[in-house]
Structure 1
Amino acid sequence: MTGSDASPQFRLAYVPGVTPSKWVRIWAQRVPDVPLTLVPVSAAEAADVLRGRGADAGFLRLPVDRTDLSAIPLYTETTVVVVPKDHLVAAVEEVSPEDLADEIVLHPLDDTLDWERPPGRPAYERPATTADAVELVAAGVGLLVVPQSLARLHHRKDLTYRTITGTPQSRVALSWREDETTDLVDDFIGIVRGRTVNSTRGRASAPSAAAKDKAKDKRSESDKRKGKRPETGGARQKPAAGGRTAGRAGGKSPRGGAGGSGGGKAAKAAQRGKPRRRS
């Protein structure tokens, strides 16, 4: 890897419609010593910002020239058509490009869909931005086909959207300069890809590996201590009072043997003899 871990911060670019809050939250938990700064960029300028080192990594929309950029595709968005709430399209769940054949469909200059030919009839002028196109839809000038995240981003109470099939879909990717794959970039890649704390490579994995080695050393020391104890070969036997254990080992019964307590009582009784009868 190239670069240095001494960077005071990690700069993350993101295009409209992408919500990086989940990954930013995980970053704050795993790499608390390096603050993350968000850099909002337009879809058109995202790649140039990365090439110009204006950000360490960024979420952008594909396709992108990968000559000097690495990119990991993350997900594909649903494409929707934005319409006024009282439009006929609002009465159905999804439509096709053929259903919009007679409609004016706006095609903003910052459009993120890779069209061969947009559906519907083109407007006299192309709006400069998606936000401008949404305003025109609200004014009843036409309809707009965009990724669902952009429809949500520019939500208005008087507008709604429906899924449209058979159209291009926007793909979101994590990208960074190929020659700037630093440890911080690798840490963020791990977060986005769902690596756990123990499996994350780079800076975050070092403490985990050290902890595992320390635990292994402790187990080894414990095993050594246990190995020094003598082998008993079985449960210990406690000697019984009066030497019973030895008597039993000799094969004599405690009651019948001469050395037992029962034998002593019998000898004393024999010496006393039988008691006399009273007349």
Structure 2
Amino acid sequence: MAIRPDEIGNRLRAYRIGQGLSAEQVAERLGISRAAVYRIEGGEVVKVETLERLAALLSTTLASLLGAGVEYYASSVSYFERMRQLEEQCDQVVAHFPPMSYLLTSENYSAFLRKTLIEALPSYEAESCRACSEIEQIVSILDERKALRDRRRLSVINFVALPEIERWLKIGVVGRFDLPASEVARRRRVARAEVEHLLGIIEREPMGIQIGIINEILPNMAFQLFRVSDRTLVGLSPFRLGGDLPNIKTGVAMVTEDKQPVQLYENIANEIWSRAAKGATAASLLRAALERSAI
């Protein structure tokens, strides 16, 4: 696998953002100029010794920074930024990110997502400025991804598990279970609005978006295939944004273009797609779920 300086720069930026460090702070700690940090992030070739020091500073490994094998991300901020970078390059994404890909949510959803992420903070971090700042970063990156998809007309294939949708309709867009009944009812309406938005996409059949509804439980681990002209990468994530209580705090996500895991997930994607309902059948399944939730 060829080592690409531009990809090293992208990974460096993702790890740096995840550590909450500015380019100035990285430069100061390494004893180099801020301009040098930006040049490295921009894809300039750099000495291995410098990369080793960067990896140590950013709590990662030289192998992950080089993309040699697997890139590991213990920060959800880093992982979502890496997803944004890959979507900026790729031609198509195949996503299983329950309950549905953020790329296909409505413009109103980000405000409620922000609320749920704050609600889900553990008590020891509820008043933390850093925790709230990370949430703002995550929502900003997610919205950048959505704007990028619209701008590039990125092809998206999204697998949606019907049981996940039905659970979301019952639970609502919430970050914890002790909300007042009136607020829970409001959040259920928000979930309903998002499912109706997804239904509208299926019925409009916009170019570049394919949605498959599958009436079975899919793996808890979210995965996404990033298909570029000359390669495919797979990203695996324990981080959750909805469908159940969100988790952006704990877990290790990974990205790799190694042949075996990519092929295994390509096989999974092909199998799921072959069983999934599409078009009018998919719309009928979603509409029935909405009717059941209204009872």
Please classify the TM superposition score into its range, dividing by the shorter chain length: under 0.3
Write 1 or 2 for the structure with the bigger share of strand.
1
Write 1 or 2 for the structure with the bigger share of helix.
2
Q: Which entry has the higher C-alpha Rg, 1 or 2? A: 1
Per the normalisation by structure 1, the TM-score is 0.21
Per the normalisation by structure 2, the TM-score is 0.20
